Structure 1
Amino acid sequence: MDNGIITYINGPVIKAKNMKNFRMREMVAVGEKKLIGEVISIYEDFGTVQVYEETAGLKIGEFVYPTGKPLSVKLGPGIIGNIFDGIERPLNKIKEYSGNFINEGIGLISIDPNKRWKVNFLVKEGEYLEEGQPFAYVEETPLIKHYIMVPPKVKGRVTYVAADSEYCIEDVILKLQDDKEYELKMYQEWPVRIPRPVKRRFPIEKPLITGQRVIDTFFPIAKGGTAAIPGGFGTGKTMTQHQLAKWSDADVIVYIGCGERGNEMTEVLEDFPKLIDPNSNLPLMNRTILIANTSNMPVAAREASIYTGITIAEYFRDMGYNVAIMADSTSRWAEALREISGRLEEMPAEEGYPAYLASRLAEFYERAGYVETLSGKEASVSIIGAVSPAGGDFSEPVTQNTKRFVSVFLSLDRNLAYSRHYPAINWLSSYSGYLSLLNDWYRKNVSEDFFKLRGEMLKVLQEENKLLEIVKLVGEDVLPDDQRLILEVARLIKIGFLQQNAYHPEDTYVPLHKQYNMLRMIKLFYDKALFAIKKGVPIGKIRQMKGYSEILKMKYSIPNEYKDEFDNLQRNIEEEFSQILKSYEGD
């Protein structure tokens, strides 16, 4: 095939002639340094290429070389625990080549081709294998058994199986014979913009347990679901995603630092290898993949990083794992789209973003799901995307379009964050669309009245919000005691339940049964206090009760592996109210 010839250069966008034999979305090598690029448009003999590396020094007249395949990633052993850039090049390996800065023309290096892995085979000669079926596995980390699978659209009878031994990823370890012979290695290559196939999709019915009370109880996320965490600067988006990455009951975590500041991604790269997985007491990196594409790295690669991350997630889903993706943040990804669109001289839509922003967001979020894999396993990909609206303005296009495609909206509030209330999720503007779908699971696994109790407590917070408007005008003292009680109970919910300390061993992660019992104690106190007020007990007396302060402290004082502590607390509250009522009846 003839090479293209560069005729125009505008940052990460170049145009070339002699491109009629190239294909849309084909991966190409650009210039003498063989920069990695992707064809994004072709018209007659001219094509436009999006370059994923720095184009400084590139000259008009240099060649564009075809590869004959779309932008793809290698999927095989060596991904877990690694740190990649936006097009799956390992940053540790790049540092060995070029030091602290990424030089141009390094090429599409990927997972280590020379490392040897102990391969254990699951099949024998003569067996017939279908697409997606595992035929071997590698103990990639102590937490993840990496299954080597038959690639999609490949099937046949086994004619050769290597012996259980050590191999590198380029070795042929299995041969299949169907209409032709297939030689299978330990890795697959897959185009990042095409979703990996599944047998079928299941309805959402299981929650993604995070141990964060405001999420699990008030705004639950589902396995295979989608969530957005929008918030202005300093409201805790990254911190919230760190908590979800550490504590959610996903098997594999893919963390995409998409266009965030370098210091924020540095913090992730430094912290994650030190974090201990609470379920196994082993380093969290044993089940984590990091993709770092910071704001000072090539903007076009930032656009690709989202697709690289979701493709890796789908690969581990196909093995039967539940995978959670943290994308931080999709606003920076959208800004990359805007910059490339501007350099392409496309007609801009609202606030300069391209008109196809909504469809690109939809393409990303619709790759989440709870599915039956090609091999018949149940698995999921859950997507949790942070959104960084400028100035915390949720009316801007990225937030509004994201809202259309996600089912959980965890709105971060600047006032809560600045008052040190974390997670700073606003309970009035957040929502979860999975409540009805998860209702049966919560009833069977936690309590019959779980969501009824949640609704009653949320109603108290909504009533408090209305009353605070009156308090601002005339003060709290003019309110009747039953309304002042709502303010006190709302304080119990906010401080005693919703506020959570990520650095406290008992409070950083809270099991669902403890969450339910904590809320049950607050409801018990509210019911007893309301009855006492109707009997003439003043609100000041209720505020001074020992049970009031015990409820505020129960998240620290009652261990997660509790036995009788909540029964004792309930008994103490009931006895204290009984004594107060007797004293006032005596008066």
Structure 2
Amino acid sequence: VMIANTSNMPVAAREASVYTGITIAEYFRDMGYDVALMADSTSRWAEAMREISSRLEEMPGEEGYPAYLSSRIAEFYERAGRVETLNGDDGSVTVIGAVSPPGGDISEPVSQGTLRIVKVFWGLDAGLARQRHFPAINWLNSYSLYPQSLDQWFRDNISQDFPEVRTQISGLLQIESELQEIVQLVGSDALPTDQQLTLEVARMIREFFLQQNGFHDVDAYCDIHLQYKMAKAILSFQDAAKSAMAGGAQLNDVVNIPSRSDLMRGRFETGYIDIIESMVETMTTEIAATVEDN
């Protein structure tokens, strides 16, 4: 179902469209469906509210928005959730709200009012989009407040060490961000080899784990079990590379092994989840062989 409103429609219609969408979502939720609602964008909805408030000569708040802006945003997101219907079925509404702040400034009232309510934030990054990195979600600005609630589910259904693996992956990306400041000043060659390896592992996370091709039949979707195996493959590469370099292997020899490239390209093939573990074993063996070569 699509509820469309354009800028040439009456301002009251633009303001009501969000409520129309959430009401239809609740209708299907009460029928026992799991509904996803995409509101694009709540910034335009807030602008319609600001225009109506101005015409009613209400007391303006920050940047001319009505003083009740935050409460209206909260009331909208509070209508999301899971319910038990009258006939005993389960239904849910998941709300994904897009905020389009002018100039990308998330300190403006609509962004701040939204961030105070929601528990998940995906920060889209124009720089990543220009680099053709999709989905262009900035992993440093984005966050979720649900991991503690979901950790036990991940342990029971995916793997006992799933939360720890997720934390390690996030930590490596954070370290890469800190090292990039040094790299921009003196270049990566000036870094110690262990930090150069960290940069390579982080690049592997970005290009192999985070980047997806939405137009590819296989890569457009990734099962949660495959996500875990891919993350473990990256950490396995890091551990094997550290051991090999401690034994005298050269960084270039370790990162340029053929099986690492095969592992990264394999995600485009059907049945990748069935062969990824054997590919990791081959990669580990090749990394160990670099010690003997040196």
Tell me whether the two structures share a fold, i.e. TM-score over 0.5: yes
Moved over 4 A (4+): none
The match for 2:276 among 563, 566, 576 is: 566
For 1:488, the equivalent position in structure 2 comes to 200
Matching of residues 335-374 of structure 1 within 5 Å = 335-374=47-86
For 1:466, the equivalent position in structure 2 comes to 178
For 1:419, the equivalent position in structure 2 comes to 131
Q: Deviations over 1:479-533 (max 9, x none)?
A: 0000000100010000111011001111111111111111111111011111112
Contact 2:35 2:93 in 1 (8 A): yes
The match for 2:214 among 502, 518, 528 is: 502
Q: TM-score, normalised by structure 2?
A: 0.97
Q: Distance in 2 between matches of 1:551 and 1:459?
A: 22
For 1:211, the equivalent position in structure 2 comes to none
Code of the residue aligned with 2:15 in structure 1: it is: E
Q: Cα distance 1:359–1:519, how it changes in 2: closer, same or farther (>3 A)?
A: same
For 1:133, the equivalent position in structure 2 comes to none
Q: Distance in 1 between matches of 2:274 and 2:57?
A: 67
Q: Distance in 1 between matches of 2:160 and 2:188?
A: 36
Range with greater deviation from structure 2 (351-360 or 440-449): 440-449
Code of the residue aligned with 2:174 in structure 1: it is: Q
Code of the residue aligned with 1:399 in structure 2: it is: S
The match for 1:332 among 2, 23, 44 is: 44
Q: Distance in 1 between matches of 2:273 and 2:225?
A: 11
Structure label with greater radius of gyration: 1
Q: Distance in 1 between matches of 2:61 and 2:263?
A: 51
The match for 1:309 among 21, 24, 44 is: 21
Q: Distance in 1 between matches of 2:262 and 2:69?
A: 50
Q: Is 1:579 aligned with 2:275?
A: no
Q: Distance in 2 between matches of 1:548 and 1:481?
A: 19
The match for 1:525 among 210, 226, 237 is: 237
For 1:429, the equivalent position in structure 2 comes to 141
Code of the residue aligned with 2:288 in structure 1: it is: S
Matching of residues 316-327 of structure 1 within 5 Å = 316-327=28-39
Q: Distance in 2 between matches of 1:391 and 1:552?
A: 36
Q: Deviations over 1:173-199 (max 9, x none)?
A: xxxxxxxxxxxxxxxxxxxxxxxxxxx
Q: Where does the alignment leave 5 or more consecutive residues of structure 1 unmatched?
A: 1-288
Code of the residue aligned with 1:319 in structure 2: it is: M
For 1:298, the equivalent position in structure 2 comes to 10
Q: Secondary structure at the match of 1:430?
A: strand
Q: Secondary structure at the match of 1:324?
A: strand
Deviation at 1:578, TM superposition (A): 2.1
Deviation at 1:348, TM superposition (A): 1.2
Matching of residues 275-290 of structure 1 within 5 Å = 289-290=1-2
Contact 2:208 2:264 in 1 (8 A): yes
Q: Distance in 2 between matches of 1:554 and 1:404?
A: 41
Q: Deviations over 1:92-132 (max 9, x none)?
A: xxxxxxxxxxxxxxxxxxxxxxxxxxxxxxxxxxxxxxxxx
Q: Distance in 1 between matches of 2:29 and 2:166?
A: 32
Q: Deviations over 1:4-47 (max 9, x none)?
A: xxxxxxxxxxxxxxxxxxxxxxxxxxxxxxxxxxxxxxxxxxxx
Q: Deviations over 1:130-152 (max 9, x none)?
A: xxxxxxxxxxxxxxxxxxxxxxx
Q: Is 1:393 aligned with 2:136?
A: no
Q: Secondary structure at the match of 2:222?
A: coil
Code of the residue aligned with 1:478 in structure 2: it is: A
Q: Deviations over 1:384-426 (max 9, x none)?
A: 0001011111111111110011110000111111111111110
For 2:249, the equivalent position in structure 1 comes to 537
Deviation at 1:553, TM superposition (A): 1.5
Q: Deviations over 1:199-246 (max 9, x none)?
A: xxxxxxxxxxxxxxxxxxxxxxxxxxxxxxxxxxxxxxxxxxxxxxxx
Code of the residue aligned with 2:34 in structure 1: it is: N
Deviation at 1:437, TM superposition (A): 1.2
Q: Distance in 2 between matches of 1:563 and 1:509?
A: 12
State the structure with bigger RCO (CA 8 A, min sep 6), 1 or 2.
1
Code of the residue aligned with 1:544 in structure 2: it is: N
For 2:154, the equivalent position in structure 1 comes to 442
Deviation at 1:446, TM superposition (A): 1.7
Contact 2:29 2:92 in 1 (8 A): yes
Q: Percent identity?
A: 56
Deviation at 1:551, TM superposition (A): 3.2
Deviation at 1:563, TM superposition (A): 5.8
Q: Distance in 1 between matches of 2:229 and 2:278?
A: 12
Q: Distance in 1 between matches of 2:127 and 2:272?
A: 34
Code of the residue aligned with 2:30 in structure 1: it is: D
Q: Cα distance 1:373–1:467, how it changes in 2: closer, same or farther (>3 A)?
A: same
Matching of residues 74-153 of structure 1 within 5 Å = none
Q: Distance in 1 between matches of 2:140 and 2:61?
A: 31
Q: Distance in 1 between matches of 2:244 and 2:115?
A: 44
Deviation at 1:373, TM superposition (A): 1.8
Indicate the structure with greater helix content.
2
Matching of residues 33-112 of structure 1 within 5 Å = none
Code of the residue aligned with 1:578 in structure 2: it is: A
Q: Secondary structure at the match of 1:290?
A: coil
Q: Where does the alignment leave 5 or more consecutive residues of structure 2 unmatched?
A: none
Indicate the structure with greater strand content.
1
Contact 1:497 1:555 in 2 (8 A): no
Q: Distance in 2 between matches of 1:440 and 1:539?
A: 38
Q: Secondary structure at the match of 1:429?
A: strand
For 1:237, the equivalent position in structure 2 comes to none
Q: Secondary structure at the match of 1:291?
A: coil
Contact 1:522 1:551 in 2 (8 A): no
Deviation at 1:334, TM superposition (A): 0.3
| Number of equivalenced pairs | 294
Contact 1:389 1:398 in 2 (8 A): yes
Contact 2:226 2:273 in 1 (8 A): no
Q: Distance in 1 between matches of 2:99 and 2:215?
A: 25
Q: TM-score, normalised by structure 1?
A: 0.49
Code of the residue aligned with 1:474 in structure 2: it is: V
Deviation at 1:332, TM superposition (A): 0.3
